[in-house]
Amino acid sequence: MSNLESYPPDFHHLNGSPAPLLPQLNNHSMEDSSSLSVSIPVVDLQCLSLEKLGQACKEWGLFRLVNHGIPPSLLSKLEEYVKMLFALPFESKQALLTNPFFYFWGTPVLTPSGAALRGALNINWLEGINVPLSQLPQFQSEDPRLEDFRHSLEEYGRHLSRIATALFEAMVKSLNLCPKQSESSLDESTGFVRLYRYPPRSVTDEACGMMEHTDSSVLSIVNQDQVGGLEILKDNKWLLVSPISGTLLVHIGDMMQAISDDQYMSVKHRVRVNKQEERVSICYFVFPAKCSVIRSSKYKPFTYTDFQEQVQNDTKTLGYKVGLDRFKLNAPL
């Protein structure tokens, strides 16, 4: 099977021919990106410094995590599984990846797969698999590939839950927040993994793997392969965050920004496609409990459910996410 056959039909415009309705990148063009990688703050989970952690969250909105305790063998195995699944023929992926897995392409999971490629302005040059970790124990498959993958994902999910909880508890201390008030602000049962593949594209100045955005989560933890392409917006400049084997990238999300009263900033980021190589990443997202009310001097009281519904409505009606600005105290109704 040729590699092209594994991509969704909408992506068969590879190798330089123009794709339909390429994404507009708001006020920041692809050409303003730095060609040099930037050194982002490093946080050591085994020797966690509240000062370093707080500084990274305030000034950068992300950091590189080392000594996280995930076995290298598990990270390698997961990456192999992810590449194997994405390399399957397009029709096979659609048939194989059923509930609780959700396969999508060309668009965020908030909208129907492929719809953005056929009519919306905001498209992403990617395909993905969404995996709610809480539903994995009940999942049964006769396909040994998915069964082995499920076991690895469950193990990975336990590690990520441990890491997210440890980091969040440290952030609560660093911010001097009331632990009682914050105990439902991160709910491990909400955690899910999203797997991404970004096809290569020779006309890289016209295509974006993932458009500029902030994550809606409390925390996002990213394991990217060695191809790279992740960029962050800092001081109105796009900076490339190069991959370093064995490390994880931790992003502050919208919920953590609100919880911190805007002391921590949800980092804007995007992904550039590579000309020759495809890129894969394994991302973990965790959220507050659905009924947990986030209270802040900057925002109206809201739950993550309120936030999610507003994001879905804005995405459908405006074509993009507005996010926290909708919940500011002075925001229009």
57-94 burial code (b ≥16 CB/10 A, e <16): bbebbbbbbeebebeeeebebbbebbeebbebebeebe
pLDDT by residue (tens digit) across 149-175?
999 999 999 999 999 999 999 999 999
Q: Report residue 97 CA to chain centroid gap.
A: 20
The string of DSSP letters for 211-251 reads: EEE---SSEEEEEE-SS--EEEEETTEEEE----TT-EEEE
Query: Angle at Cα 307 formed by Cα 302 and Cα 100, nearest 5°?
Result: 125
pLDDT at 72: 96
What is the gyration radius of the CA atoms in the chain, in angstroms?
19
pLDDT at 333: 58
- Cis (ω within 30 of 0) for the bond into 100? yes
- Domain ranges for the chain, please list them: 3-288
- Is the per-residue pLDDT at 313 higher than 70? yes
Domain 3-288 has CATH 2.60.120.330: yes
pLDDT at 276: 85
pLDDT by residue (tens digit) across 180-197?
777 889 999 999 999 999
pLDDT by residue (tens digit) across 12-39?
754 444 444 334 444 444 445 445 678 9
C-alpha count within 13 angstroms, C-beta hemisphere, residue 136? 23
Task: Read off the pTM.
Answer: 0.89
